[in-house]
Amino acid sequence: MSTIIAITNQKGGVGKTTTSSSLLVALHQRGFRVLGVDLDPQGSLGFCLGLDIENCATVYDVMKGSKNIAEVIVETECGDILPSNILLSGAELEFNRPGREFLLKNQLKEVQNEYDFVIIDTPPALNILTVNAYVAADSLIIPMAPEILSLLGISQIRETIDTVRRCYNPDLRVLGILLNKFNPRLNLNREVLDLSEQIAAQLDSRVFNAKIRASVAVAEAPAHGESVLTYAPTSKPSLDFQALLNELLQQRLISAKPMVRSEE
């Protein structure tokens, strides 16, 4: 059974897709079998990893029931991807039948035993797609930029987490808050760190020791269809994401061993 982690923050521009792709690549590099699920109608996760998202079946087809999930998953050099595109933007209106909160969870059951980790990249909104991610996930990672508005977004996420726990997924937990674009020399960054630790405590969680530093490589990598870890493996953000994975493994926040599979 795979571990499912959703990367979430209702505010855009905080590094959700960068975090998702970097964790996928870092896990894949260490021998874990991984699946990335793109729940953002912008399709950024698939695009950033080199997929032609406009000319392939997507998670929209899977959630709609017109395609089997195994047909839609795309193999890449950094793990498997369930892509998305703009068609998913109609989900709020189109997916209106009873049980719509479980559409993703039910589909992932079909392939869950094939992967050690499923990483879900969520949209910058608290809508039915985000709720589907929370219902399917075992845990959440909340990336945020060192800005006051990012803190406001996290406090609003808490209400959604509480609702999902109460109604659909009582075991959902927050692994931690991840500070992206972090510069410890700036006063605002240090102030936001203090405030984020207070919010993490309210979520019964933590702020990760690993902080992701800024670099132009993060912006350049998607243009080459790569994660920053493969595009610039010695850059500061790449080293920081590897440190994040080390922290997750060493603190036993996630399983440290790939599943052993019999030969097919």
CB atoms near residue 70 (< 10 Å): 11
Q: Between residues 151 and 195, which one has the greater pLDDT?
A: 195
Q: Given a cut of 60, is residue 160 above it in pLDDT?
A: yes
φ/ψ (deg, to 5) at 234: -100, 5
pLDDT band at 261 (very low <50, low <70, confident <90, very high): low
Q: What is the pLDDT of residues 48-66, one digit of tens each?
A: 998 999 989 999 999 999 9
Helix H or strand E segment including 149: helix 148-167
Under 8 Å between Cβ of 117 and 254:
yes
Q: How far is 217 from 242, CA to CA, in rounded Å?
A: 15
Q: Between residues 67 and 253, which one has the greater pLDDT?
A: 67
Q: How far is 197 from 99, CA to CA, in rounded Å?
A: 35
Mean pLDDT of 130-154: 88
- Compute the mean pLDDT over every residue in the chain, rounded to the nearest whole number: 91
Q: Between residues 258 and 210, which one has the greater pLDDT?
A: 210
Helix H or strand E segment including 34: strand 34-38
Global pTM? 0.93
For the chain, give the percent of residues with pLDDT over 70.
97
Q: Given a cut of 50, is residue 264 above it in pLDDT?
A: no
Q: Given a cut of 80, is residue 2 above it in pLDDT?
A: yes
Please report the pLDDT score of residue 37 as a whole number: 98
Q: Given a cut of 80, is residue 157 above it in pLDDT?
A: yes
Q: Given a cut of 60, is residue 260 above it in pLDDT?
A: no
Q: How far is 148 from 188, CA to CA, in rounded Å?
A: 9
Q: Given a cut of 60, is residue 99 above it in pLDDT?
A: yes
Domains and CATH numbers, the chain: 3-250 (3.40.50.300)
Least confident of 28-32, 101-105, 170-174, 252-256: 252-256
Cβ neighbours for 152, distance < 8 A, ≥ 6 positions apart: 11
Please report the pLDDT score of residue 259 as a whole number: 66
Mean pLDDT of 139-156: 83
User: What is the C-alpha end-to-end distance of the chain, expressed in Å?
Assistant: 17
Q: What is the pLDDT of residues 166-207, one digit of tens each?
A: 999 999 999 999 999 888 788 888 888 888 898 899 899 999
Please report the pLDDT score of residue 213 as a whole number: 93
Q: Given a cut of 60, is residue 257 above it in pLDDT?
A: yes
pLDDT band at 262 (very low <50, low <70, confident <90, very high): very low
Q: Given a cut of 80, is residue 153 above it in pLDDT?
A: no
Q: Between residues 37 and 154, which one has the greater pLDDT?
A: 37
Picking from 164, 162, 114, the residue whose alpha carbon sits closest to that of residue 136 is 164
* Rg from Cα positions in the chain: 17
Q: How far is 171 from 138, CA to CA, in rounded Å?
A: 7
* Pairing, β 79-82 against β 139-144: unpaired
